[in-house]
Structure 1
Amino acid sequence: MNDPLPKEYNKKEVEILNRAFQAFNDATQQLQNSYDSLEERIKELDLELARKNEELSANLKEKEEVKNHLHNILESLTTGVVVVNANGVVTTFNTTAGVIFSVDPRTCLGQPLKQAPAGELLDNIVSLSSQNPGEAITLDKELEIGLRGQQALRISASAVKDPNDEPEGGTVLIIQDITLLRRLEEEAQRNQRLRATGEMAAGIAHEIRNPLASIELFASLLHQDLAEEPEKRKLVERISSGVKNMDRIISSVLLFAKSAKPSRKKCRIDHLLKDLLTDHSDFIVPDNVEITQQYDLGDALANGDASLLKQVFRNLVQNAIQAMPGGGQLRLSAKVETPAGTNDIPGRKFINVCVADNGPGIPKDKRDQIFNPFFTTKDKGAGLGLSISHNIIKAHQGAVNFETEEGKGTQFTVTLPCWDPYLDEEEYA
């Protein structure tokens, strides 16, 4: 039988064990405190991370909105924008640039600039810009572009720069279609020349008309005195006929020089054209000319002066008949449209009146001159009919255009504004 441990030994052992338990409890408490502190810190970090994520999401959303906004602005510009990087690869090709060059912009992105429409020209401009990074290069050029034909473009190039205004590689190309601007400039120059010509012609016409009246008076008296000399009377009659012809030309000159001021009234174009063809006071439709008419106007009315418009259509019909001395087909038509580039007013509709023949057409070297005063391809006439017609239609806020093909004929199209009860107010004499 073993002897029991001494009491002192048992106390020491218990004391050590107690201290061990106390140390364990202290360590456990410290570990718990550390865990609680860590858990609290994790919660704080989670909150901080959530806040940062919210800020980041908000920043990303804001940047995405700015990006979309800038993209929308870029796509809404009426000028073409093409951006190439330092390697000459297209990184931006907006919608307007696609319209100008008649190409899908997506097919140009990521491709070398040289492969884009007019690529050689654009690449040369980029090269010039890279040689002069501090300057913008601008060039006006006329190009043949697909179905759009000859177009005038203004192309500007400048280096892409960083916030410090230093080139960072790449070039921005701005392309403007200035075809309409060129036409307006040419029209303004033409109008200026016509105004000067008209003023000069009017002065000359007045100077001629006075002595012409005296010639007519003396010829009339001479005609009476030669009642018994028929041969001489015929000579006098030829003088009178020549004087009357000169007077008609002078009247045309004065009409050309005078600015047309049409009254603003409702006008039935189909009725006007039908009446014109039945009124043979100024011209006769030969039997060998076949006339076809097609009017799709419904209840649409033109806004204009019936008397002046009748003068325009009389001239166009007479020209068409004279273009077919051996006979042919004269086609008259009218329909309602909203054409682009014709003094467009929001909500305004237009009437297109076409007068077409199947004569020989207008030679290419004459087409740019047909609206010029005193230009004519006929043996007779002052060459003022189309000039006067052009002025009358312009005064109506309309337009006169023509299409012609040699050997097939010519079609003149007169565009007139429709009468709109919300936009127009009828004038009464």
Structure 2
Amino acid sequence: EKQKKTLGIASSSIKNQNGEIELVVALIKDLTDFRQIQKKLEIREKMTAMGELAAGVAHEIRNPLNSISVIAQRFEYEFEPKENADEYSKLVKTVRSEVARVNHIVKQFLNFARPSKLNKRSCNLSKLIDEVLNLIESQAKEKNIEIKKNYTDTLEAKIDDKKIKQALLNVLLNAIQAIESKGEINISAQQTDKIIIDISDNGKGISKEHQSKIFNLYFSTKNYGTGIGLSIVYQIISEHNGEIFCDSLEGKGTNIRIILPKNS
């Protein structure tokens, strides 16, 4: 498998008495791992700062939001207009639905900013993937998306199953949203000294410019996105000492690769 390498080069020349170069010594050092660790730390610091900001904003939003929710409930159960009752009921239900939606977004931001501690245990990862696929089955059918599986039923890892389930769900929902209709999603997994999970789709793909940003908090290529779903995925995989990569071709599709240690 091809992998980009980051190299550091230092050189020095040895000259004779006439000042002519007789020998050049070059030292080449592989800095790939160092750069990856450096990049992870930079992203983690950035996401932590943005998460703390999000938490502060979320708390400020939650208080008036709860008030709106209580008032909407009172409107629904304590008031009954004599005219346009159906329209009134519809509007009140819309308000309650939108309040619930915003509350869900606020909860996501708070969970991101203050993640719970990992609760790791030995887990059948194959079964967990099957459970996630069951959750998205109806949404995939609505868009005529075929889901193909390629993994054995013996994948085992020590993970926080709830968090990994959330991470896989977020990636698969993104894949569904990237496909307009009659598409295909492939999910494969293999176990060596690590667990490697690939989730690919034949949707609209992601431009090269955006690929390096998709795990950033608040970044979204969708008009309706909050830009937190894949940030949560990145956070969860990082907590497990894993890695996540995006490989995409605009107009062709996207592959998300997740690499997890068997004992995270």
TM-score with structure 1 setting the length: 0.56
Q: What is the SS of the residue equivalent to 1:279?
A: helix
Instruction: Pick the aligned partner of 2:236 from 372, 377, 392.
Output: 392
CA contact (8 A) 1:397 1:416 kept: yes
* Aligned residue identity for 2:150: Q
Q: Deviations over 1:388-425 (max 9, x none)?
A: 01111111111111211122211111111225xxxx9x
Instruction: Pick the aligned partner of 1:250 from 91, 106, 113.
Output: 106
Task: Report the counterpart of residue 27 of structure 2 in structure 1.
Answer: 174
- Structure 2 Cα separation of the partners of residues 156 and 237 of structure 1: 68
- Structure 2 Cα separation of the partners of residues 168 and 276 of structure 1: 65
Structure 2 matches for 1:19-30, cutoff 5 A?
none
Instruction: Pick the aligned partner of 1:354 from 185, 198, 209.
Output: 198
Alignment of 1:160 onto 2:20: no
> Which structure carries more relative contact order (alpha carbon 8 Å, separation 6+)?
2
CA contact (8 A) 2:126 2:155 kept: no
Structure 2 matches for 1:249-328, cutoff 5 A?
249-279=105-135, 284-286=139-141, 288-296=144-152, 299-328=154-183
Q: What is the SS of the residue equivalent to 1:286?
A: helix
Superposed displacement of residue 280, structure 1: 5.1
> Can you give the 5+ residue segments of structure 2 that lack an aligned partner in the other structure?
none
Task: Report the counterpart of residue 108 of structure 1 in structure 2.
Answer: none
- Structure 1 Cα separation of the partners of residues 41 and 243 of structure 2: 15
CA contact (8 A) 1:260 1:392 kept: no
Instruction: Pick the aligned partner of 2:87 from 203, 211, 231.
Output: 231
Instruction: Pick the aligned partner of 1:408 from 244, 252, 257.
Output: 252
- Structure 2 Cα separation of the partners of residues 317 and 386 of structure 1: 11
Alignment of 1:194 onto 2:47: yes
CA contact (8 A) 1:226 1:232 kept: no
- Structure 2 Cα separation of the partners of residues 169 and 271 of structure 1: 65
Q: What is the SS of the residue equivalent to 1:369?
A: coil
Superposed displacement of residue 161, structure 1: 7.5
Q: What is the SS of the residue equivalent to 2:172?
A: helix
Identity of aligned residues (%): 34
- Structure 2 Cα separation of the partners of residues 179 and 252 of structure 1: 33
Q: Deviations over 1:310-342 (max 9, x none)?
A: 1111111111111112121111111113xxxxx
Task: Report the counterpart of residue 369 of structure 1 in structure 2.
Answer: 213
Aligned length: 257
- Structure 2 Cα separation of the partners of residues 238 and 148 of structure 1: 50
CA contact (8 A) 1:309 1:392 kept: yes
Instruction: Pick the aligned partner of 1:211 from 64, 72, 84.
Output: 64
* Aligned residue identity for 2:11: A
> Can you give the 5+ residue segments of structure 1 that lack an aligned partner in the other structure?
1-146, 338-348, 425-429
Superposed displacement of residue 384, structure 1: 0.7
* Aligned residue identity for 1:207: E
Q: What is the SS of the residue equivalent to 2:140?
A: coil
- Structure 2 Cα separation of the partners of residues 160 and 307 of structure 1: 61
After superposition, the Cα gap between the structure-2 partners of 1:148 and 1:264, relative to the gap in structure 1 and judged at 3 Å, is closer
- Structure 1 Cα separation of the partners of residues 27 and 115 of structure 2: 41
